C-alpha cells in the first residue's frame, strides 16, 4: 500500500519533485534503491543528497543557507546543522559539534543528526547501506566513508531537520539492538566507537520494568523538552 495519498502526491509533483514508491525490506534497503535510482540519473557530482525517515522533515531555511557554501570548487563533503527532536508535541534541541567524531579516523560517535545531513553526491555515490543492520546501518555507512578518505564538512547555524523521536530507534527493543550492532561495526572495521555504553546499560536496567522506563522517558520530555508550538 502507498504511504502517500493522491492529494499529497499531487502536491509533490507540483513542487517539481519526483515521487518513487517501491517495495523494500527496510529503510536501508529503501535508501539503497534510491541511490541506485540516482546513479541512473544525469546527476552532477556536485549535487547534494539527504536521507529522511517517514517522520522527519528537512528545514527549508537550512537548505537555502546551505546553498551558499555548496558551490564548487570548494564544496564540503558534508553539510549539517542542529536538530529538533519531537515527541508527543514536545521538542528537544540537539546541538551538533563543530568537529564531529563521526568524520574522524577512529573513536567514532554518531554526533551529528542523520536526517537532513547533506551528502555530496560524488563523495557517497559508490557506497551503500549495509541492510543487515536494523538501526546502526547509517553509522556503519559513514564510518566506511570517513575511514576510506579525508572528508571535509561544514556546520550551518540552523536546525537542519525536525526529527520524530518515537520510532524504533528510541524503543525498548533498540536497547538490545544497538549494543549488538555497535559490536558488529567495531569488529568489521577494526575501529573503536565512542558510543554511550553506560547510558545504554542504565536504560536497559530500567527497561526491565517497562512501565517505569516509559514513565521516566515521558517525564524527561516534560522536564527537558519545550512545547512544540513555542
Res 213: pLDDT: 84
The residue with cell 527537558 is 224
Res 199: pLDDT: 86
The answer to whether the beta carbons of residues 163 and 180 sit under 8 Å apart is no
Average pLDDT, rounded, for the chain: 90
Q: Which residues contact 40 (CB under 8 A, 6 or more apart)?
A: none
In a domain, 31, yes or no: no
In a domain, 28, yes or no: no
Rounded Cα distance, 2 and 74, in Å: 40
In DSSP terms, which residues pair with 155 in a beta bridge? Answer: 80
Res 229: pLDDT: 60
The answer to whether the beta carbons of residues 156 and 118 sit under 8 Å apart is no
- How many residues does this entry show for the chain? 230
Give the number of domains in the chain: 1
Which residues constitute the domain of residue 203?
Answer: 44-227
Res 128: pLDDT: 98
In a domain, 183, yes or no: yes
In a domain, 69, yes or no: yes
pLDDT at 2 over 50: no
Task: Read off the pLDDT of residues 37-61 as tens digits, 9 standing for 90 and up.
Answer: 999 988 888 899 999 998 999 999 9
Joined together, the cell numbers standing for residue 147 give: 575511514
Joined together, the cell numbers standing for residue 86 give: 519531537
Does the N-terminal peptide bond of residue 207 adopt cis geometry, omega within 30 degrees of 0? no
Segment holding 41, helix H or strand E: none
Rounded Cα distance, 22 and 94, in Å: 32
Mean pLDDT on 13-30: 84
In a domain, 161, yes or no: yes
In a domain, 135, yes or no: yes
In a domain, 171, yes or no: yes
Rounded Cα distance, 81 and 96, in Å: 6
Percentage above 90 pLDDT, the chain: 62
The answer to whether the beta carbons of residues 62 and 156 sit under 8 Å apart is yes
Res 100: pLDDT: 98
Name the more confident of 227 and 199. 199
CA angle 139, 117, 188 (to 5 degrees): 15
The answer to whether the beta carbons of residues 189 and 156 sit under 8 Å apart is no
pLDDT at 5 over 80: no
Confidence of residue 1 (pLDDT cuts 50, 70, 90): very low
Task: Read off the pLDDT of residues 160-200 as tens digits, 9 standing for 90 and up.
Answer: 999 999 889 988 899 999 999 999 999 999 999 999 888 88
Mean pLDDT on 135-156: 98
Res 10: pLDDT: 78
Task: Read off the pLDDT of residues 74-131 as tens digits, 9 standing for 90 and up.
Answer: 899 999 999 999 998 889 999 999 999 999 999 999 999 999 999 999 999 999 999 9
Mean pLDDT on 201-210: 86
pLDDT at 31 over 70: yes
C-beta neighbour count of 59 within 10 angstroms: 19
In DSSP terms, which residues pair with 193 in a beta bridge? Answer: 108
Res 13: pLDDT: 75
In a domain, 75, yes or no: yes
Rounded Cα distance, 44 and 188, in Å: 32
Amino acid at each position: 500500500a502507498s504511504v502517500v495519498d493522491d492529494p499529497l502526491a499531487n502536491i509533490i509533483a507540483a513542487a517539481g519533485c519526483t515521487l518513487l514508491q517501491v517495495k523494500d525490506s527496510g529503510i536501508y534497503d529503501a535508501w539503497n534503491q534510491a541511490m541506485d535510482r540516482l546513479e541512473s540519473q544525469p546527476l552532477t557530482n556536485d549535487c547534494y543528497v539527504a536521507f529522511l525517515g517517514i517522520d522527519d522533515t528537512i528545514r527549508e531555511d537550512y537548505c537555502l543557507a546551505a546553498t551558499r557554501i555548496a558551490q564548487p570548487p570548494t564544496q564540503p563533503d558534508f553539510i549539517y546543522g542542529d536538530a529538533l527532536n519531537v515527541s508527543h508535541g514536545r521538542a528537544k534541541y540537539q546541538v551538533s559539534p563543530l568537529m564531529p567524531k563521526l568524520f574522524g579516523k577512529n573513536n567514532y560517535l554518531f554526533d551529528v543528526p542523520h536526517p537532513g545531513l547533506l551528502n555530496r553526491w560524488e563523495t557517497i555515490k559508490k557506497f551503500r547501506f549495509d541492510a543487515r543492520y536494523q538501526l546502526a546501518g547509517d553509522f556503519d555507512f559513514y564510518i566506511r566513508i570517513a575511514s576510506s578518505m579525508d572528508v571535509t564538512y561544514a556546520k550551518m547555524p540552523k536546525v537542519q531537520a525536525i526529527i520524530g523521536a518515537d520510532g524504533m530507534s528510541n524503543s525498548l527493543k533498540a536497547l538490545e539492538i544497538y549494543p549488538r550492532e555497535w559490536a558488529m561495526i567495531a569488529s568489521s572495521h577494526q575501529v573503536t566507537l565512542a558510543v554511550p555504553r553506560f547510558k545504554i546499560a542504565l536504560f536497559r536496567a530500567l527497561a526491565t520494568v517497562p512501565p517505569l522506563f516509559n514513565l521516566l522517558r515521558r517525564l524527561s520530555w516534560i522536564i527537558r523538552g519545550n512545547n512544540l508550538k513555542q
